[in-house]
Amino acid sequence: MPLPRHAYNAHVHLRALTTLHYRNLSPATLDLPRGITSIWGENGAGKTNLLEAAYLALTGLTNAPRVEQLVTRGEREGYVRADLHSGGSTSILEVGLARGRRHVKVDGVRARSSDLPRGSAVWIRPEDSDLVYGSPSARRAYLDALLSRLSVRYAHQLSRFERTLTQRNAALKSGETWAMDVWDDALVTLGSELMTMRRRVLVRLAELTQAAHTQLGGHKPLTLALTESTTPETYLADLAARRAEELARGQTVIGPHRDDLALTLDLFPAADFASRGEARTVALALRKAELDLLRERYGENPVLLIDDFTAELDPNRRQFLLDLAHSVPQALVTGTEHAPGARLTLRAESGTFMPDAAQQPLPAEATP
């Protein structure tokens, strides 16, 4: 069933994307219209890197283990910029990249990554199946990233928790038993709030994911649940009970940093029993739920980034991706072939993106 188009009137519009010394991309500024921009070409042409650059400029987020991996080989610094229209005005979002650090500016003023628009983009990738088959850390990362975009409070408390956890682990490795009570109190206060907020968001996340899963044709009942190593009510006592073990191992063994987002299909763990097709369907449902939650939270449509729709061999899931792209005001869709119904088609080749000469132009759309 086709998705409703533009269910939210308000939306963000990525008007232009600029890259300089970013991976294999040639320095360029791309003007991007509303509607679908189709970016097609052979594998290795830079299509995924372009979406990665857009996601970084819009959200400040990256999956790269080290910032310097984003910089073109042989260069010392890189740069991405997004000209973003939202809420009736246009902002300039800039991210500078160098070894071990990144610098963020909003309208020319130094800022933090957390100051970038939190609901501005959703990125769907073939690698999303790792949310099902991957380790608990991959699912925690998904949940933490989503909650951090939904709640400034969660992002702040998560950062404080991670700093406290690092300090507590250092004390455990040094055998500083005298410091445990201090670190335990701080860890429990912060960790309990994270667990409570996760529980609250999970209710709506589960509803939206289950609805998307059904829409995608998933036949087995899908459930989402938190597998917790402790609870807010027993956290402090559980830490005390595991102290000898933690001192021996030199690390904190319970808390929200060890929990998991359990996904089950027909009451069986999806990580162990889901087929590749079923795992892909669950992963797509999670991303669709992410899109819906951000729309609900901020009242506007994010920019949708769909990487390699042609890698989706199942016709139902491929059509779902294309319908999803048509249902939002702006989507960037990559693949080894054209995305149908695109307003702009770009041919990717060796990190450059040129308008496809064979494209039949669609009517222009008014810009505010």
Tokens 């939904």 label which residue?
Answer: 150
Q: Tell whether 41 is in a known binding site.
A: yes
Rounded to an integer, what distance in angstroms lies between the CA atom of residue 139 and that of residue 124?
15
Q: How many CB atoms are closer than 10 A to CB 56? A: 28
> Is 60 marked within a binding site?
no
CB atoms within 10 A of CB 136: 14
Pairing relationship of beta strands 303-306 and 330-335 according to DSSP bridges:
parallel
CB contact at 8 A, 5 and 303: no
What CA–CA distances, in Å, run from 60 to 67, 149, 295? 11, 11, 19
Is 9 marked as binding a ligand? Answer: no
Establish whether 214 is an annotated binding residue.
no
How many angstroms separate the CA atoms of 340 and 169, rounded?
52
For 249, the token pair is: 């191992």
Question: What is the three-class DSSP state of 337?
Answer: coil
> What's the burial of 92, exposed, middle or buried (CB within 10 Å: 0-12/13-18/19+)?
middle
* C-beta separation of 17 from 85 below 8 A: no
C-alpha 330/C-alpha 96 separation (Å) is: 25
- Closest to 332 measured CA to CA, from 107, 25, 20, 58: 58
CA angle, 81 as apex, 294 and 334 as ends, to 5°? 65
Contacts of 320 (CB under 8 A, 6+ apart): 215, 216, 284
CA distance 354 to 98: 28
46 is in an annotated binding site: yes
Report the residue count for the chain.
368
Q: Is 241 annotated as a binding residue?
A: no
| Annotated binding residues | 41-48
| Annotated binding residues for ATP | 41-48
